[in-house]
Amino acid sequence: MKTIFGPIHSRRFGVSLGIDLSPSFKQCNFDCLYCELAPAATVDHQDTVVSVKEIITDLKAALKEHRNIDEITITANGEPTLYPHLDQLIDEIDKIKEEKETLILTNSATLTDEAVFNTLLKLDKVKLSLDAVTPEVFKKIDRPHPSLKINDVVSAIERFSHAYRGKLFIEILFVRGLNDTKEEIAALNDVLKKIKALRIDIGTIDRPPAYPVEGISYGELHSIATQFDADLPINIASRQHAEFVQSAYTEEEIINTLDKRPLTQEDIEILFDATTQKALQELIDAKKVIKIERAKLEFYIPAENVQRKRKKS
Ligand code: SF4
């Protein structure tokens, strides 16, 4: 069975080798409407389990072949934290990873289990998905195993974010008509304010989903980004922007937009027309707009924001 895949080049996470902890079929405690895998009944444990020995043997071989790897990403056809030997596996990876960082991509639900919570503390990076925080929307979009309650998951995420010493990322995937309402965004905002995350990636469906649901446009994602508190580290992570029309912004509008929501170069090329991009360059030359780095991504922000923060501290 093939447990290692990649290397994958990701703008957000660098070059990584992936470990698939459920290589033969989907084993997940969610059955998300937007899942890129086929629909499947939810489970709360793995029935088919690969051995740690097999994974480490495959990983050693892959690391020998691919030398320029930034990180080792633990994932699965399904939910990787259902893997019963995760703790032991992380210890074994730590012995051979050298300067590479470990990352797990999880749907967050098993953080309510103290053993999983403590195991994830060992990783260099953790990415937690959180699509909804109200029970109705959570049930509709993520279709969780009946044993899972979103209030418990949210409390566990909050507690984890304060206990964890590594780099924590949150990911929210928006589905049209489900979690893109003003009410759900406001509820998500209240929760996110209590979570200590390095970056919050918001995105939408960009691969064929398991069920007939639709993603939202880049413009809608951008509008959602502005509904979150301005000091939350929101990043629009989406390839769904081909249909978005560039607009003209005045100098004041550029500053206001960047003040509300720092933008990456990619966002700028999508949102701003050529004249606005030129005006932005002039603001950069005049040092009224500066570039900052946040978890590997570069963002443009008004220079005044940095001065404001310095005065506060
Ligand atoms: S948590 Fe991930 S693997 Fe599981 S159903 Fe949702 S999208 Fe699919």
Span from the CA of 276 to the centroid of ligand 1 (angstroms): 40
What ranges in the chain are assigned the alpha helix state H? Answer: 52-65, 86-96, 114-120, 135-142, 150-163, 182-192, 218-227, 251-260, 265-271, 274-285, 303-312
CATH architecture under which domain 4-244 falls: Alpha-Beta Barrel (3.20)
Span from the CA of 74 to the centroid of ligand 1 (angstroms): 14
Query: Confidence band (pLDDT; 50, 70, 90) for 121?
Result: very high
Q: Average pLDDT, stretch 85-99?
A: 97
Tell me the best of 31, 74, 107 to mutate to test the pocket of ligand 1, counting ligand atoms within 8 Å of each CB and taking the most.
Answer: 107
Q: Average pLDDT, stretch 62-75?
A: 91
User: Does the pLDDT value for residue 49 go beyond 90?
Assistant: yes
Look over the chain and give the mean of its residue pLDDT values, rounded to a whole number.
90
Query: Confidence band (pLDDT; 50, 70, 90) for 71?
Result: very high
Res 38: pLDDT: 86
Query: Confidence band (pLDDT; 50, 70, 90) for 117?
Result: very high
User: Does the pLDDT value for residue 174 go beyond 70?
Assistant: yes
Q: Average pLDDT, stretch 91-113?
A: 97
Where are the domains positioned within the chain?
Answer: 4-244, 246-313
Which tens digits make up the pLDDT trace of 180-196?
A: 999 999 999 999 999 99
Atom of ligand 1 lying closest to residue 77 CA: 3
Query: Confidence band (pLDDT; 50, 70, 90) for 44?
Result: very high
The backbone region for 244, taken as left when phi is positive above 0, alpha when psi lies in -120 to 50, beta otherwise, is: beta
Ligand 1 pocket (Cβ < 6 Å) reads 28, 30-32, 35, 37, 78-79, 107
Q: Which two tokens stand for residue 221?
A: 């994602």
β-strand partners of 73: 18, 103
Residues with Cβ within 8 Å of residue 116, at least 6 apart in sequence: 81, 86, 110
CB crowding 159-179: b at 16 or more within 10 Å, else e: ebbeebeebbbbbbbbbeebb
Reference 57, options 119, 9, 1, 104; nearest CA is: 1
Task: Please name the residue whose Cα sits nearest to atom 5 of ligand 1.
Answer: 31
What is the CATH class of 246-313?
Answer: mainly alpha
Q: Average pLDDT, stretch 233-243?
A: 71
User: Does the pLDDT value for residue 205 go beyond 80?
Assistant: yes
pTM for the whole structure: 0.83
Q: How far apart, in whole angstroms, are the C-alpha atoms of residue 271 and residue 241?
A: 10
Span from the CA of 26 to the centroid of ligand 1 (angstroms): 9
Query: Confidence band (pLDDT; 50, 70, 90) for 256?
Result: confident
- DSSP letter for each residue of 40-80: ----SS-SS---HHHHHHHHHHHHHH-----EEEEE-SB-G
Span from the CA of 184 to the centroid of ligand 1 (angstroms): 20
Which tens digits make up the pLDDT trace of 126-149?
A: 999 999 999 999 999 999 999 999
Q: Which two tokens stand for residue 63?
A: 């690391």
Task: Please name the residue whose Cα sits nearest to atom 3 of ligand 1.
Answer: 78
Which tens digits make up the pLDDT trace of 265-276?
A: 887 887 788 999
Strand 234-236 relative to strand 289-294: parallel, antiparallel, unpaired?
unpaired
Q: Average pLDDT, stretch 152-174?
A: 98
Q: How far apart, in whole angstroms, are the C-alpha atoms of residue 301 and residue 75?
A: 34
Q: Which two tokens stand for residue 270?
A: 């999508």
Reference 79, options 121, 117, 27, 36; nearest CA is: 27
Query: Confidence band (pLDDT; 50, 70, 90) for 310?
Result: very low
Q: Average pLDDT, stretch 298-304?
A: 86
Tell me the best of 20, 21, 30 to mutate to test the pocket of ligand 1, counting ligand atoms within 8 Å of each CB and taking the most.
Answer: 30
Span from the CA of 6 to the centroid of ligand 1 (angstroms): 20
Tell me the best of 21, 31, 35, 44 to mutate to test the pocket of ligand 1, counting ligand atoms within 8 Å of each CB and taking the most.
Answer: 35
The residue ranking higher by pLDDT, 152 or 10, is: 152
Reference 16, options 147, 125, 112, 128; nearest CA is: 125
Res 248: pLDDT: 78
User: Does the pLDDT value for residue 218 go beyond 80?
Assistant: yes
Query: Confidence band (pLDDT; 50, 70, 90) for 296?
Result: low
Q: Which long-range contacts (CB under 8 A, 24 or more apart) does 93-96 make?
A: 93/56, 93/59, 94/122, 96/56, 96/59, 96/60, 96/63
Q: Which two tokens stand for residue 147?
A: 């044993």
Q: How far apart, in whole angstroms, are the C-alpha atoms of residue 58 and residue 74?
A: 13
Q: Average pLDDT, stretch 256-268?
A: 78
Number of Cβ atoms within 10 Å of the Cβ of 233: 18
Res 34: pLDDT: 94
Span from the CA of 35 to the centroid of ligand 1 (angstroms): 5
